Every structure is written in C-alpha cells, then in structure tokens.
Amino acid sequence: MSAKAGGDSTETTVAGTKDTLAARTSGNGPDPSIREGLAGVVIAQSEICKVDGERGTLSFRGYDIGELACHSTFEETSYLLFYGELPTAAELKAFSARLIGERAIDDTIWRILSVLPETVEPMEALRTCVSALCSIDCEDDDTSEANTEKSIRLVAKVPTIVAAYYRHKQGLSPIDPDPELGHAANFLYMLSGEQPTEMQAGSMDLAMLLMAEHGFNASTFSARVTAATLSDIYSAVTTAIGTLKGPLHGGANRRAMQMMLDIGSVDNVEPYITAALDRKERIMGFGHRVYKTAPDPRSAYLRGRLYELCAELGDFHYYDLATAIAETVEARKGLYPNVDFYAGPLLYLLGVPLEVFIPVFAISRIPGWTAHVMEQYARNRLIRPLATYVGPDNRPYQAIDQR
C-alpha cells in the first residue's frame, strides 16, 4: 500500500510502466532542484569515454568512434578500453590469444544452464551464470591486474554462455568455440554452427565494437554503484546485466526489430507510426538521454553497414523499411534513431535470433562495464545520493486490532 502525499495523486502511464506523480511532487508540484533520472548530473571524472550529446560525437580513450568503426576490431577496442592505449601488433596478438584461451566454460555453468526452467529468458540465464562465474573463478585477489584478468575471462566466456543457452533452449547441443575464429565470428559460429562470411563476421564485429562502451549509461552506472561498495567485479557485472535487460535500455533493439516485423512494408510505416504516436507509445530505437540535439553517431555506422549487408544479400527490404521508419519518426517527433534501431535489422540479417538480441548487447558491453568498474575501484567513493521525502509525517502507530 502506498502512502499519499499532499496534493493530487495524478498518475501517468509511460511505455507500460507507472510513474506516480504523487511520489515525486511536494504540495506545489515537482521540486525544480530535483534532477529526476539524474538527467544532466555529473557525478564523476572518467578517462574512458567522451559522449558529446550536443555535437553527436563519441570517443573511446580519445579515439573517435568513426576511426574505430572504420579501422579497429572488437578485440583491439576492448584492449584500448582496458589499458588506455591501442595495442602493438604483438600485444594485440597476445590479447586475442588470451581471449581465445578463456572461451570455454566450466561444467558448473553447463549444469546451471541445464536446470534452469524453460521459461527463463537468455538475459536471466546470463545474469545467473555471470553471478555463478564469481564462485568458479579461483582468483580471489582484487588487484587491478587480477581484475583485468577477470574482465578478460568475462569478455571471453559470456558469448559461450549465451550461445550455449540459446542452443540448449532449442534442444540443440552446444558448439565448442573455434580458436581459428575472431570474437564476433566465433559467436555467430557458436549460435548456428555455420562459419560466417567475411561480411557477416565484419558486421557482427562492427556492431559489437560500437556497443562496447558508452559512458555513464544506466547499466554502467549501476555496475559502478555496486563496485563503489567494494563488491567484486562479477557482482558489478551481474548488476549491469540486470539493468541492461530493461526495455528502455538494452531491450530496445529487440523491440525495434519486432516493430519492423510488425510493420512489414514501407507502405505501412506512416499509418503504423501515426497510430503508435497517437496512442502515446514510445517508438523503440528512437530518442536518447544524451543525444538530444544531434543523432547518435553510432547509428550512422550501423546504417551504412546495414546497406552493405543488404547489398551483399541483394535485398534492400530492411534497409528501405528502417529508413522509412527513421524518416517518419524524425518528421513527426524530431527524434533520431539510437544505436538500437539499426542494430535490430543488422543482427536479424546476421541470423541472430530475436531472443538473443539483448544478450548480444551484453556481450558487447562487457569491456565497457569492466573498464568502468576498474576505474571506480581506482578512485573509489561510495555512491549514495539523497531523496526528498514527500510521504506522510508524524503518524501515530496503531495497534493491529485497531486498523
């Protein structure tokens, strides 16, 4: 039962969730000093990622996302996020070999996956398994070197867990990682059992690289909150996975793709979007907390890659459909596509099943999360904000038989 504050208890429904105005108003309406959702609040200094929402630019460790998208790989970008510098050829070779060497998962994880109820979603399975990895990792050291090693293990093992669980749910046996394949190509291979083409592997690699890091987004922030209590890195990543799962964060890529499937054809875009906006629904894959005045820079690279993939397939249906939706939503609401929008059809055309879309985001974001957790440990202060209490005061306690 919720206690009511003074004033109206107006309720607004947004995207299926209830946001109770009564819970955040004090008598005369919202308190302007409260930054709801922490919007615009700077809470730390960070050397990992620069997001300029006004200009629509993004860089990792000082390297523009466009440079990385055109020239780097997921492995190299992960190294950059961990160590702050681009690797030499020898360093990259050794780092990639470390990742390959850590891909296998322990029997305990297989057993956990096999006893989960059938209704468990892949993100829930992943959250459970990452939590379990903590007790399997025998390194109880918490130096920055040990945490980097744990981060490498997480980057390497999470794709194996996701692919294994997906196949288990389909009644298929798991596929062992292929040490000859790069990180992205190996993930596609472990999902389907088929060697991806160069275009498919490159497209997956690009999608993962673009999603690898993005400043103090909700899941990264939640990981840092956990790390700031000096809890372990696995707990912090488990927290992040639980946060990413929500439809306003990682869940948007799957919903954006589902929307494209529901719309079906370019002719249906206008009536579908108009009806959804008239119902005050949110269009998944659009809008962003930080990129308000300029597009999310990641979406242009994903759109370009979607075009190339469609060209290779000789079928531009999803490119045309996505473009028509983007143009309509921008014209009607002034909202730009975010990273999730073009990632949807790209993953779909790569054969990634819809239920694995959010886990792909998690696989990609492990380097970002863990780099932030290590940065948090390096200059830690407990994260503990305040709230203005707007509930009732001075209530006399009534004995149970008098209520």
Ligand X SMILES: CC(C)(COP(=O)(O)OP(=O)(O)OC[C@H]1O[C@@H](n2cnc3c(N)ncnc32)[C@H](O)[C@@H]1OP(=O)(O)O)[C@@H](O)C(=O)NCCC(=O)NCCS
| 317 among known catalytic residues | no
25: three-class secondary structure by DSSP: strand
| Kind and range of the H or E run holding 329 | helix 317-333
> In the complex with ligand X, which residue's Cβ is closer, 84 or 295?
295
Q: Which class for 145: exposed (0-12), middle (13-18), buried (19 or more C-beta within 10 A)? A: exposed
Query: Cβ 79 to ligand X, closest distance in Å?
Result: 25
| Count of Cβ atoms closer than 10 Å to residue 397 Cβ | 5
Interface with ligand X by CB under 6 A: which residues? 37, 248, 252, 282-289, 333, 335, 338-340
Query: Cβ 354 to ligand X, closest distance in Å?
Result: 16
> In the complex with ligand X, which residue's Cβ is closer, 3 or 38?
38
Q: How many residues does the chain have?
A: 403
Residue 206 has which token pair? 């690009």
Describe the strand order of the beta sheet including 49-52 as a list of residue ranges.
49-52, 57-60, 63-64
Cα 288 to Cα 178, 223, 294, 299, 339: the distances in Å are 37, 20, 10, 12, 9
Query: Cβ 15 to ligand X, closest distance in Å?
Result: 6
Which residue's CB comes closest to ligand X?
287
Among 137, 205, 296, 340, the active-site one is 340
- Identify any residues that bridge with 12 across adjacent strands, giving them in sequence order: 19
Query: Cβ 68 to ligand X, closest distance in Å?
Result: 18
| 8 among known catalytic residues | no
φ and ψ at residue 393, rounded to 5 degrees: -120, 160
Query: Cβ 367 to ligand X, closest distance in Å?
Result: 18
| Kind and range of the H or E run holding 208 | helix 198-211
C-beta of residue 340 within 8 angstroms of C-beta of residue 190? no
> In the complex with ligand X, which residue's Cβ is closer, 120 or 277?
277
| 340 among known catalytic residues | yes
Among 137, 249, 296, 372, the active-site one is 249
> In the complex with ligand X, which residue's Cβ is closer, 189 or 272?
272
> In the complex with ligand X, which residue's Cβ is closer, 157 or 255?
255
> Which residues belong to the active site?
249, 288, 340
